[in-house]
Amino acid sequence: MLLLGAGCSTGGGTGGSSAGTLSARDRVPADLRQAGVLVVGSDETYAPMEFLKDGQAVGFDVDLAGALAGKLGLRLDYRAADFGTLIDQVTTGKITMAMSSMTDNAKRQKLVEFVDYLNVGSSIVIHKDAADVIGYRGLCGLRVGGQPDTFYVDVLNDTASACPAGRKLTPVLTKDPVGAMRAGKIDAYVNDYPLAAYDVNSDSSLRISGEQIEAAPYGMAVAKQRHDIAKAIQAALYELIDDGTYDKVVAKWKLPDGSLKTGALNGGA
């Protein structure tokens, strides 16, 4: 999640999926095996990654967490939590893992250990019939939406200040960029790739223009002192990659540009 000040960096491609000879289930630490439960915390407000539908948690992260728990031989206990509390809940042992569209970066690595599983950057959404817009500088001359209190406030302001005279970018802060597009109030908007993909898959009048910008890995966060849990989760992820389950989850939620198969530990910068 690219919250204001969260940071963003390039991350990963795809890579090998070997975690050694031990199975993921064999790597589960004794205390976790005895408990029999993988407690996962998530902020269920971020479609299509994690959100509520008819009162039930659904989304990419929900499906992948369930598949990981299965590989580990554990029951999934999926708990709703405010995003800002997740790292504290991991470090204090209230949850085993946070899986909530959390960008793996150096600042967070000081507190938790990440297992990377999706590559996510910024996307530009335009009207289906509009001319392509490539990169932030391509937004010059347009009215561009961005959600308040996010990374994109700075992106739009910084880009606007760099645009040439006569082609100024007009930032428009809105919590409903799709509605603003439909109403003709903006010409384009910027958002995280998963949200942008969800929007265009739900509204055929919109499309994503160009590739992701400044992509960085999302990571599953575990307590820094629990490297053993991180290795078990990494092994489970590799098994899901090898048996095709990971690709099926990516396809189900229509996030092909986010596929990341490195399974890196702390691969963000």
Q: Where are the domains of the chain?
A: 24-120+217-256, 122-214
- pLDDT for 136 equals 97
Q: How many CB atoms lie within 10 A of CB 190?
A: 26
Coil, strand, or helix at residue 213?
A: strand
Contact 170, 24 (CB under 8 A): no
For residue 185, the SS3 value is: coil
- The pLDDT value given to residue 9: 35
Q: Averaged over 109-113, what is the pLDDT?
A: 98
Identify the helix (H) or strand (E) that includes residue 196.
helix 193-202
Confidence (pLDDT) at 21: 79
pLDDT for the residue 212? 97
Q: Is the Cα torsion angle 11, 76, 251, 54 positive or negative in sign?
A: negative
User: Mean per-residue pLDDT for 77-90?
Assistant: 96
Q: Residue 2 has what pLDDT?
A: 53
- Mention the CATH class of domain 24-120+217-256: alpha beta
Q: What is the DSSP letter of 254?
A: T
What is the model's pTM?
Answer: 0.85
Give yes or no on whether 24-120+217-256 and 122-214 have one common fold. Answer: yes
CA distances from 195 to 101, 109, 140, 191 (A): 11, 25, 23, 7
Q: Average of pLDDT values for 198-219?
A: 97
Instruction: Determine the length of the chain.
Output: 269
Predicted local distance difference test score (pLDDT) of residue 216: 95
Which residues face 41 on adjacent strands?
79, 98
Residue 149 pLDDT: 82
Residue 61: pLDDT above 70?
A: yes
Give strand ranges (E) for 174-234: 188-192, 206-223
Mean of per-residue pLDDT scores for the chain: 93
Report the pLDDT value the prediction gives residue 150, as an integer from 0 to 100: 83
Q: How far is CA 150 from CA 4, 43, 105, 171, 226, in A?
A: 4, 16, 16, 13, 31
Q: Does domain 122-214 have CATH number 3.40.50.150?
A: no
> Minimum mean pLDDT among 104-118, 148-162, 175-189: which range?
148-162
Instruction: Give pLDDT, residue 7.
Output: 36
Amino acid 151: pLDDT: 81
Residue 52 CB neighbour total at 10 angstroms: 13
Residue 207 is predicted with a pLDDT of: 98
**pLDDT at residue number 20:** 55
**Sign of dihedral through CA atoms 222, 228, 232, 235?**
positive
Mean pLDDT of 61-89: 97
pLDDT over 50 (residue 6): no
What b/e readout covers 197-224, taking b as 16+ CB neighbours within 10 angstroms?
bbbbeeeeebbbbeebbebbbbbbbbbb
Rounded to an integer, what distance in angstroms lies between the CA atom of residue 18 and that of residue 86?
29
Give the model confidence (pLDDT) of 7-21 as tens digits: 333 333 334 444 557
* Mean pLDDT confidence for 241-266: 98
In the chain, DSSP assigns E strands to 37-42, 45-46, 50-53, 56-58, 75-80, 97-98, 112-127, 143-146, 170-173, 188-192, 206-223
Question: Is pLDDT at 219 greater than 60 in this prediction?
Answer: yes
Q: Is 92 exposed, middle or buried (0-12, 13-18, 19+ CB in 10 A)?
A: exposed
pLDDT of amino acid 13: 39
